[in-house]
Amino acid sequence: MEQIGKCTCSKRMDGKTIIVTGANSGIGKETARALANRGARVILACRDRTRGRETELELRQQTGNQSIIFMHLDLSSFDSIRDFANEFLTMEQNLHVLVNNAGVINPGNCHTAEGYELSFGVNHLGHFLLTSLLMDRLKESAPSRVINVSSIAYRLGVIDFDKLKESKGRVKSYARSKLANILFTRMLAAKMEGTGVTAFSLHPGSIDTGIKRNWSSWLKRMAPLITMFLKSPIEGARASIHCAVADDIEAHNGGYFEGCKAKKLTPAACDDDLALALWVKSLEMTGMNTEL
């Protein structure tokens, strides 16, 4: 079974404002819980309004932290992302950590509101647009961090710029989006150099999370066996928490973590020309016509 390092940093986060996307379940919920326990003001950015409000109430009661706030965010809709960003920027003066945690596996041939393949559209483009819209606030709040939850599945990913709207099947589409997360992180770190904004990507481990709802029928039948080898969401959140709070990771700006340790990437994930091309294409696809 894979080993997931444990974050040993006990740093408090009082006075820090943090957004966690997909915070109503799984890794996102446990990340939000841990950061709230450290005193942070935590924004739960969730698509499901009912579950988002329930999580807000639950975490407030469990942590005693009343600065936990649900805000609606549907990463499959650029309009929703822009509405969220506008509301956040009106309401909050600071943003110290943005945890781009939400993720989906395309259950079939599904697309976002703008017509992009669902996994790529939500996991990469949605978070790319969200980060872009919030970047000025991140700069103003520096030192600040962007954390992109990727996956070791990135190793199977291929970026074909002519077919980004097409589904490549569940696994390949998901892997493509996770490779995009890492390439985005590397380019973001390079472009933000000197601003006080740093960026990190990570693989949380093989986790038993709500993403199983998007599994195919035969995978669901195998779920009892598969889940024997999966880690809990609490264990999976350790890498995100580590990247959010640890003081000793700045030297790894743009880097990739597995558990709580920096890891080397495959050549494709270190291809800066590919990362730049993806950056330019993502600006075009999201309608962001200016550089960050």
Q: Is residue 32 part of a domain?
A: yes
**Given the residues 116, 154, 174, 256, the one annotated as active site:** 174
Kindly tell me if the per-residue pLDDT of 223 is higher than 70. no
Contact 58, 139 (CB under 8 A): no
Q: Is residue 4 part of a domain?
A: no
Domain range spanning residue 90?
A: 17-282
Q: Is residue 139 part of a domain?
A: yes
Q: pLDDT value at position 143? A: 98
**Which tops the pLDDT comparison, 56 or 205?**
56
The C-alpha atoms of residue 261 and residue 127 are separated, in whole angstroms, by 23
Give the pairing type, strands 197-203 and 261-263.
unpaired
Q: pLDDT value at position 9? A: 76
Residue with tokens 């975490």: 59
Q: Is residue 29 part of a domain?
A: yes
pLDDT range class, residue 215, cuts 50, 70, 90? low
Task: Give the CATH number of the domain where residue 156 resides.
Answer: 3.40.50.720
Q: Is residue 191 part of a domain?
A: yes
CB-based contacts of 59, cutoff 8 Å, min separation 6: 29, 32, 33, 36, 42, 44, 65, 68
Q: pLDDT value at position 5? A: 55
Q: pLDDT value at position 106? A: 92
Q: What is the pLDDT of residues 102-155, one digit of tens each?
A: 999 999 889 999 999 999 999 999 999 999 999 999 999 999 999 999 999 999
Q: Tell me, yes or no, if 174 is annotated catalytic.
A: yes
Structural domains counted in the chain: 1
Kindly tell me if the per-residue pLDDT of 40 is higher than 60. yes
Pick the range with the lowest mean pLDDT from 158-162, 171-175, 218-222, 264-268. 218-222
Q: Is residue 292 part of a domain?
A: no
Q: Is residue 90 part of a domain?
A: yes
Q: Is residue 200 part of a domain?
A: yes
Residue with tokens 């986060």: 13
Query: What does each C-alpha distance from 171 to 161, 176, 215 come to in angstroms?
Result: 18, 9, 10
The C-alpha atoms of residue 15 and residue 30 are separated, in whole angstroms, by 20
